[in-house]
Chains A and B, each alone.
Chain A
Amino acid sequence: MSIERNLYSVNTGSMPAEDELGLIHSAQRGDRQAFGELVARYRDGVVNVIYRMCGDAELAEDAAQEAFIRAWQHLPKYRPEAPFRNWVYRIASNVALDTLRREREMADVDELPIAARTPGPEAVAEQNERATMVQRAVLALPEASRVVLILREYEGLSYQEIADMVQIPIGTVMSRLNYARTRLRDMLKECLEAS
């Protein structure tokens, strides 16, 4: 029997909580303050999804603002059957892809700002170096696999949620994730062996 048909849809795919639903409804009626509260709740997640996609914190912060503006514009169409977080993440990943396309040079993994971190004690320097290598490896993945890996590994979304968000079959989520992990294991062989 195919494994994917038996997969759990981990129950993060529920409706938003009551208080969040209230904020969403108010925001849908044009309440900017309610929307501001939603922005505050999901700011970190959205910034990080974009940051992991493009590798530049400043750019990610700016793109995250753009994602929230886009969310505001499309808010009347949001239906609470799906979690608000997933809906916003979907917008964030689309904005990240748009940003990457617009500023292709940002994807130049040799010019990552993270590589220019100030060197500290030896242990810190080693940690920074490892972080840089990991980030470069993630950024070297094809965008389609990268987004799936980020949503799974960093944001902890279930296969089903990723499938719904990226609008691909669950089998494709699994194969892209498998591809990304295989590539990363290959690219980060030295780091993995050292640890």
Chain B
Amino acid sequence: MEQHVTDRIAAYHDGALTAAQQQRVAAHLANCAACRAELEALEALTTLLHAAPPATTTLSPERFVAQVGLRLPRQPERTVLQQAAEVGWRLIPVGVLGAWTFVQTVLILGTALLIVTTLAGVAGTLSPAMGWLNHVLGYLPDTIATALRGWFQQRVAGSLMVGSVMLLLGIAGLYGSWLASWWLREQRADGRQ
């Protein structure tokens, strides 16, 4: 015999199954007295529940509406700050994009600068800012000095790269936590309704 559909009878009764499921359950019910009895019991309960009449109200609809109208407080108006915060929230992705563009520009310019200074350094004409390094390296043999100079340039480039990634992660983190706090605040407000 086909398996009983006990776990689906309530959903069938409530019209909460898909059309295919509804058909399958209906086909089973046609041949299964036990499941049919279960459905009939649910239907009987629904009918019985409606034996309890709805509320008999004392106020006419018009009077009810009028009383609600009299009790309505002033609707809380959104302050300029709240409106600005609402707009600000929508503008945050734009802000993040702007910050990202700024960081990328700095990074590209920084890298370009590094390439220039590296080339200049190798040629022995470091920029004044790097002059102190050249001065120190001047006391060392050429091969060691070139190696140290290259190592130093790599470290600087690496630090810049790590710094920019950290900055991006920081911005992303801030944005994420801002969104999370906004969402939590909204949830709390909804829960109070």
A residues adjacent to B (C-beta < 8 A): 3, 6-8, 10, 30, 32, 35-36, 39-40, 43-44, 47-48, 51-52, 57-58, 60-61, 64-65, 68-77, 90-91, 94, 114, 127, 130-132, 134-135, 138, 152-154, 158-159, 174, 177-178, 181, 184-185, 188, 191-192, 195
Chain A residues within an 8 Å CB radius of B52: 52, 114, 131-132, 134-135, 138
- B8's partner among A3, A10, A130, A158 (CB-CB below 8 A) is A3
Closest B residue to A48 by beta carbon equals B54
| Interface flag for B171 (CB, 8 Å) | no
The answer to whether residues A65 and B44 also contact, given A3-B11, A7-B17, A47-B57 and a CB cut-off of 8 A, is no
15 pairs, CB–CB < 8 Å, chain A vs chain B = A6-B21, A7-B17, A39-B64, A39-B68, A40-B64, A51-B55, A65-B71, A71-B193, A72-B75, A73-B73, A76-B76, A134-B48, A138-B52, A153-B49, A174-B11
Does B113 sit within 8 A of A, measured CB to CB? Answer: no
Count, chain B residues at interface, CB 8 A = 44
With both chains docked as a complex, state the minimum distance between the C-beta of A93 and any C-beta of chain B, in angstroms: 11
Q: Does B142 contact A (CB under 8 A)?
A: no
Q: Which of B67-125 contact A (CB under 8 A)?
A: 67-69, 71-73, 75-76, 78
Going nearest first, the 7 A-B pairs with the smallest beta carbon separation are: A51-B55, A57-B55, A134-B52, A135-B52, A131-B52, A7-B16, A68-B68
* A127: contacting residue among B41, B51, B73, CB under 8 A: B51
Q: Which residues in B have their C-beta under 8 angstroms from that of A94?
A: 193
Q: Which of A39, A94, A178, A191 has the most chain B CB within a 10 Å cutoff?
A: A39
Are A181 and B42 touching (Cβ within 8 A)? yes
Q: How far is the CA of A125 from the CA of B18 in the complex (A)?
A: 42
Nearest Cβ in chain A — how far from B76, in angstroms?
6
Q: How far is the CA of A71 from the CA of B57 in the complex (A)?
A: 21
Establish whether residues A77 and B57, one from each chain, have CB atoms under 8 Å apart when the complex forms. no
In the complex, the answer to whether A43 meets B55 with C-beta atoms within 8 Å is no
Q: Within residues 36 to 51 of chain B, which ones have a CB less than 8 A from any CB in chain A?
A: 41-42, 44-51
Chain A neighbourhood of B143, CB < 8 A? none
Chain B proximity of A22: nearest CB distance (Å): 17
Given A60-B55, A135-B52: A69 and B17 interface contact (C-beta under 8 Å): no
Chain A residue contacts of B193, Cβ below 8 A: 70-71, 74, 90-91, 94
- Closest residue of chain B to A45 (Cβ to Cβ) is B54
Asked if residues A58 and B58 are in contact (CB atoms below 8 Å), the reply is yes
In whole Å, how far is A26's beta carbon from the nearest beta carbon of chain B? Answer: 12
0/1 string, B1-31, CB within 8 A of A gives 1:
0000001101100111110010000000000
Contact across chains for B61 and A158 when beta carbons are under 8 A apart? no
Which residue of the partner chain A has the closest CB to B21? A6
CA distance A74 to B78 in the complex (A): 12
Given contacts A7-B17, A8-B16, A30-B75, 14 further A-B contacts (CB under 8 A): A10-B16, A32-B72, A36-B65, A40-B61, A47-B54, A68-B68, A69-B68, A69-B72, A91-B193, A134-B49, A134-B52, A178-B10, A192-B45, A192-B48
